[in-house]
Amino acid sequence: MAIQHPADRGGDKRGRFEQLAEGASRFTSSPVFFGLCLVLVAGAVAVHVAGLDLEWQVFAGTCMTSVTLLLLALLKNSELRAERAIQRKLDAIAAAMLEASEGEPGEAHEDLRKAIRLEDEM
């Protein structure tokens, strides 16, 4: 089984994971999420400063690690989708320029129009 690039999964339609990743990406870039992260970090620091039992310190560390891993996965997915969208746009621009230099605009210009709207679809 080959693992596909996130931008290629599901053809033109976005799957549930892509929709989830996009929604999570929007949420994690919001001030609300930043506030939640500050509370989480403050809680972890408070657990250590208060000298609570080792179980609580491990729990605080585990929470921080879990959030970090989830954010890393979302960041990588977002990065791959953006990378592919940029590459599609560059390919469409190159094809449209080549087509224009050879004569009448045609299919490449339509592909370029579609490529310009990729960030709306991704």
Q: Read off the pLDDT of residues 31-69 as tens digits, 9 standing for 90 and up.
A: 999 999 899 899 989 998 998 899 998 998 899 999 899
The number of folded domains in the chain is: 1
Pair 82, 6: CB distance under 8 Å: no
Q: Does 4 fall in a domain?
A: no
Q: Does 99 fall in a domain?
A: yes
The beta strands (E) that lie in the chain are given as: none
Q: Does 37 fall in a domain?
A: yes
- Cα R_g (the chain), whole angstroms: 22
* Helix, strand, coil % in the chain, rounded to nearest 5: 80, 0, 20
Q: Does 44 fall in a domain?
A: yes
Taking phi over 0 as left and psi of -120 to 50 as alpha, with beta for the rest, 101 belongs to: alpha
Domain with 112 in it: 16-121
Give the amino acid at 66: S
- Mean pLDDT confidence for 6-15: 58
**What gap in Å lies between CA 85 and CA 97, rounded to an integer?**
18
pLDDT at 1 over 50: no
| Position with higher pLDDT, 64 vs 122 | 64
Q: Does 8 fall in a domain?
A: no
Greatest distance between any 2 Cα atoms in the chain: 76
**What gap in Å lies between CA 84 and CA 92, rounded to an integer?**
12
